[in-house]
Each structure stands twice: as C-alpha cells, then as structure tokens.
Amino acid sequence: MSDTLELAKELISRPSVTPEDAGCQALMMERLSALGFDTEPMNFGDTQNFWARHGSEDPLFCFAGHTDVVPPGPEDAWDSPPFEPTIRDGLLYGRGAADMKGSLAAMISATESFVKKHPDHNGSIAYLITSDEEGPATHGTVKVIETLELRDEKIDWCLVGEPSSTEKLADVVKNGRRGSHGCRLVVKGIQGHVAYPHLARNPVHQAMPALAELVAEEWDQGNEFFPPTTFQISNIHAGAGATNVIPGALEVLFNFRFSTETTHEALEQRVQEILDRHGLDYDIEWTLSGPPFLTAAGALLDAAQQAVQEIMGYSTELSTSGGTSDGRFIAPTGAQVLELGPLNATIHKVNECVGVEDLDNLARIYERLLELLLT
Ligand code: ZN
C-alpha cells in the first residue's frame, strides 16, 4: 500500500465531524515534526488548528486544508461504514475521502519525499490546517491568518487541497472564487383586515415590484475569470396564516455571488436605491461571507499548470466556479492562492470516495509543485 493511501485511511478512520478533529492534526503534526517542521497548535474556542513551518526564508509556500468533515447522514445509506475506510474497485470510500483527507495525505507524503530529497530547499514550506472549514469557520483559518498577520509572517503561495477536479484528476484548478454576500430584508407594512385595505398597508403588494426589479437587474457582465454576478432570493415569508389578514411585515432572504467587477458595498448601495425608489419602509441586514479573490497569473499558477501537464499529460483548466472556501481568508493577505485536489463528484454525499490511483498522482503533482517553486 502506498504511503498516501495508508495515511488517507488513517485519517478517514478518525470521525472528525466539524468542529471535531479526532486526532487527525496530532497525526499530521507528528509526521511533520519528524521531518524537522516547527509545529504550533493554534486553537481558538472549540476549534483545533495548527501551523507548521520548515525553513525560515522567503518565499513561503503553504499547504492549507481542513481535517473536519460533514456529518455522514444515515449510516445504513452507506455501502460501507463512513468511518471505516474501504477499497472497492480502485476507489477508497469513507467520509472525507475526497473532501479533504485524501488531499491532506497527499500533501504529507509529497512533503516527506521532497524534504528528504531536498533538505536545504529554497524558501519555506508551511501547513495551515483547521478543523472548522465545513462549519461556521469563525475560529479556524481566519484566526490563524490574524495571528500570522500580527507577527508579520506572510504566505507567498498557498495551495488549498479542496476537491477541484470534475471529470479526471486535476482537470480543473480553482484560481479564485466569487464573493458571497447575504441579506435579510424586512419590508414593513401595517397589519389589517383584508376587507378594509385602506386601513392597512400590504407589504407583499409593496415589495413585489421592487423584488421583481432586483431579480431582473443585470449587476455586471463578469469578466475573463468570473461569470456575471448573480442575485437569488432564497426565502420569502409573510402572513398571519389566515386568508383575511393583511400581514404586517414581509421577510426576504437573498444572496449575491459576485465577481471582481463589483464590490459588496456597491451591491448594497444599488439594492437600497431600488428599495428606496419604490418607497418601501424596511430594515436591512447584510452578512458578507467573503469577498471574491483571483490569482490571475504568477509563479504559483505557472508551476501548477506545468506540474499537472508533466504528471497527468494533459492541461488543466482555470475556474472560479463553486462555493466559497477558506482561500477567501488567505487571499486578502496578498498571497497567491490556488485550489487543487481530487474529484468533487461525491463530496458531502453518501459513499464519498476518491480514486486510489488519483491519491498517488495528486501526491506527485504536489511534490512537483514544490520542486518547481522551491529548488
Ligand atoms: Zn473541503
């Protein structure tokens, strides 16, 4: 059995549902310490994180990722128990196999092989690992980054091991992510009897034209790297539960996935202009999950494209699609950030799996990346 496979199995057998780590990080730190890394637990609240570094010079290359996994759901829906790593037909099954314990195992074996061959490599290698990526993500990567910023420790290149591939290993590298901006809007009316509408003010009637305008609005046209910004209503609610009562308020939840052509401030302003133009009386509450980020060009992107071409024999496609990831906390420091990991077809599903051969190839890609950047 390959080193990568063996470690992936060890990690999967630890049931680290968010924010639990279940000993995954101790195992990783032990392997890195043995290689000469300085390892540093950075725990906040109920979240375990660690930072580890080999070398003290710039540039600093960092592997980033998470040991936590989403809950397995009903165990009897799985063909084999979610926390018992099982190989069938060349695939390794278990919760976290693809998201992202397989990547963590590939990072460690790539690093071990690289450091043994190049003990005096250029620059430094670091690990930034959290156990709260799948959850609220408040005490994880964001806190570690704050700590690093305070002591002026800067990441130049960051490889996040999120499962980026779609059809075959490394066919897609994520070189950015759209921003996510959420909103809770309450349109205020006056409750009353439907038979006496002149004594009430119906927030449903008032809000509808404004909401229709928001839905029809073109926010931007996107750019070379990003699709156009999207607006989606995710929840709408009003009413007292009776047909004869005009409701006193209407609540709407909506979300923007936005490109680098706009900002969250600009979106807020445009929404409020539309609401005001329709003369609505409202309360509004915004929650920014993360601004968009983009790694457009540079040494990290070049090295990743070259490594995939050499190891896999095909070229990789750049993409900014998909949900948010912890890259959103790392990119604002000025780091170049890429996501490169296994196939994402089964993530968060029952029977999550990763190709056994893909694990070894991913480790080879990661090692080649280290060689291209640090030797
Ligand atoms: Zn993940």
Digits of tens for pLDDT over the chain (375 positions)?
A: 799 999 999 999 999 999 999 999 999 999 999 999 999 999 999 899 999 999 999 999 999 999 999 999 999 999 999 999 999 999 999 999 999 999 999 999 999 999 999 999 999 999 999 999 888 888 999 999 999 999 999 999 999 999 999 999 999 999 999 999 999 999 999 999 999 999 999 999 999 999 999 999 999 999 988 999 999 999 999 998 999 999 999 999 999 999 999 999 999 999 999 999 999 999 999 999 888 999 988 999 999 999 999 999 999 999 998 877 889 899 999 999 999 999 999 999 999 999 999 999 999 999 999 999 999
pLDDT of res. 174: 95
Q: Give the Å distance between the CA of 162 and the centre of ligand 1.
A: 5
Q: Give the Å distance between the CA of 161 and the centre of ligand 1.
A: 8
Question: Residues with beta carbon < 5 A to ion ligand 1?
Answer: 99-100, 162
Candidates 99, 133, 326, 367; catalytic one: 133
Q: Give the Å distance between the CA of 83 and the centre of ligand 1.
A: 17
Q: Give the Å distance between the CA of 104 and the centre of ligand 1.
A: 11
Select from 47, 63, 42, 41 the least CA-distant residue to 335. Answer: 63
Q: Give the Å distance between the CA of 127 and the centre of ligand 1.
A: 16
pLDDT of res. 280: 98
Identity of residue 197: P
Q: Give the Å distance between the CA of 100 and the centre of ligand 1.
A: 5
Q: Give the Å distance between the CA of 242 and the centre of ligand 1.
A: 44
Q: Give the Å distance between the CA of 253 and the centre of ligand 1.
A: 25
pLDDT of res. 296: 85
pLDDT of res. 135: 83
Q: Give the Å distance between the CA of 323 and the centre of ligand 1.
A: 10
Q: Give the span between the Cα atoms of 259 and 87, in whole angstroms.
A: 40
pLDDT of res. 325: 83
Active site residue 68: yes
pLDDT of res. 201: 97
pLDDT of res. 322: 81
Q: Give the Å distance between the CA of 116 and the centre of ligand 1.
A: 28
Q: Give the Å distance between the CA of 277 and the centre of ligand 1.
A: 42
- The set of residues, in sequence order, having a beta carbon less than 8 Å from that of 167 and lying 6+ positions away, is 343
pLDDT of res. 324: 76
Q: Give the Å distance between the CA of 41 and the centre of ligand 1.
A: 20
Using alpha carbons only, what angle is made at residue 179 by residues 73 and 267, rounded to the nearest 5 degrees?
Answer: 125
Q: Give the Å distance between the CA of 193 and the centre of ligand 1.
A: 51
pLDDT of res. 203: 98
Candidates 20, 68, 112, 339; catalytic one: 68
